[in-house]
Structure formats: C-alpha cells, structure tokens
Amino acid sequence: MGSADVAGVDLAALMAAHGYHDSVTWALTTTGISIAGAPATGSGGQLVTVRTIWSKFGVSAARWGESVRVPVELIIATIATESRGDPKALRLEPDYVDDDKTPDKVSPGLMQTLISTARDVLRQDDIDRAWLLEPDNSIQAGTACIDRQRRLTLLDPPKVACAYNAGGLYHDPSAANRWKMRQFPLGRSSHGDRFVQWFNDCIALFDESGLAPEMSFYRMLQEQAIA
C-alpha cells in the first residue's frame, strides 16, 4: 500500500485539471500546484521560510502528519501562511473580549488555531493560549483541523488552505478571488496564492534535500512516477 492509499488521497484526481465552481483551474504536478496550466511556481529565492520551518518544526509536523494521515506539505504550508513560522504569533478577531469569554476570537501559535476550535477537534476543554503557544501543541491542533475537514477538501491543497482559513468551503464569486473560495481578506485570492507558493516551496525543498517523510505529497508523487 502506497502513501496516497494510506492518506486516502485520490492522486489521479488531484493531478487532473480541476477547480471550484467558476474558479481558475489547478493541478498537482511533480513540482507542486500548477495554476491554469502554467508551471508550478514558489515564493522565489532560497526557500528560506519553509527551510526554517522544516528545520525547527519538521519533526513535530512529520509526527502529527503521520499520526492522522495528513501530508506534511499541508502542515508546513499552513504554518508559513498563517504565521511565517512565528510560534508566538497571536491574532485577535473583532469583538474579542478575553480568552475565557471569547475563545472563538483568539488564535495563538504557529498554526493560528482558534482556542475554541482546538478544544473541539482535540476534545480537550482545558486548552488555552499558553498551551497553543507551544509549537508541538499548535501543530497537533492545526493538523487535527486539516484532518477534520478532509471530507470537504479531499486534502486538495488550495481547498485545504481556504477551508482552514474560512472554517469551511464557501463559494465567493468576487472577481478578484480567482480561487472562488472564501478566504480572508474577503474578496481576494491572496491567502490561497500564498499557501500554494509555500506548498510548492515544500516540494522544491524535499526535492533538493531528499528528506521528505513517508506521509508527504512528494513521496506520493515519487511512488506514482515509479509505478
């Protein structure tokens, strides 16, 4: 059984051109996500962000990805998009009062998971800000969120990005949002665009280093090529 089978990923479907409602089309390739048939492109430069995240948090990302069968590139790209790898990152939503009264308005840590969401997906009512500011805990919670949404996203990278950011997949017909999936800031495609660049950087990093864990799209694509 290959890595794609273990993860429950329909690799052939992801590698075919597809989209969401009236969105731009995309496809998974051996070099990352190709958009509208163009070559997959990353953030440019020396892969500094994903390289740093992988060196600092790769062990945790690989462990939790293996635990719940989530390809590690999705975890690393989420960290890069949500916090740029800052374990002390903190986002307060409008109407935030305090952590006790509004745990659904505060997102601490690497993967910027709401306290209320982390409690829900991990079934731990005592999760608080301090707990999520621990990198391994944040990665556990964020990876559990990605896993929770897999029936919606089928672990398709752009869908994972938008569902994680917006709390689900919702159609956004805005002209400036080429993905046509709701994301913040509303009416734009910037969140999904950044995620795809970081995802593609992950593929490039693993191709350069050969250090991709078993639970990764890189390994799945290599297995596909061999088969």
Tens digit of pLDDT per residue, the chain (227 long)? Answer: 788 999 999 999 999 999 999 999 999 999 999 999 999 999 998 999 999 999 999 999 999 999 999 999 999 999 999 999 999 999 999 999 999 999 999 999 999 999 999 999 999 999 999 999 999 999 999 999 999 999 999 999 999 999 999 999 999 999 999 999 999 999 999 999 999 999 999 999 999 999 999 999 999 999 988 86
Could you tell me if residue 11 is inside a domain?
A: no
Could you tell me if residue 28 is inside a domain?
A: no
Could you tell me if residue 30 is inside a domain?
A: no
Packing angle of the helix pair 135-148, 157-166 (nearest 10 deg): 110
In angstroms, the CA 180 to CA 139 distance is 27
Q: Write the CATH number for 57.
A: 1.10.530.10
In angstroms, the CA 11 to CA 16 distance is 9
In angstroms, the CA 164 to CA 83 distance is 13
- b/e sequence 140-161, b meaning 16+ C-beta within 10 Å: bbbbbbbbbbbeebebbbbbbb
Could you tell me if residue 35 is inside a domain?
A: no
The number of folded domains in the chain is 1
Contact 49, 198 (CB under 8 A): yes
Q: Which two tokens stand for residue 223?
A: 């297995």
Give the range of the structural domain holding residue 189, as residue numbers without chain letter: 42-215
- The pTM for the full model equals 0.97
Contact 157, 73 (CB under 8 A): yes
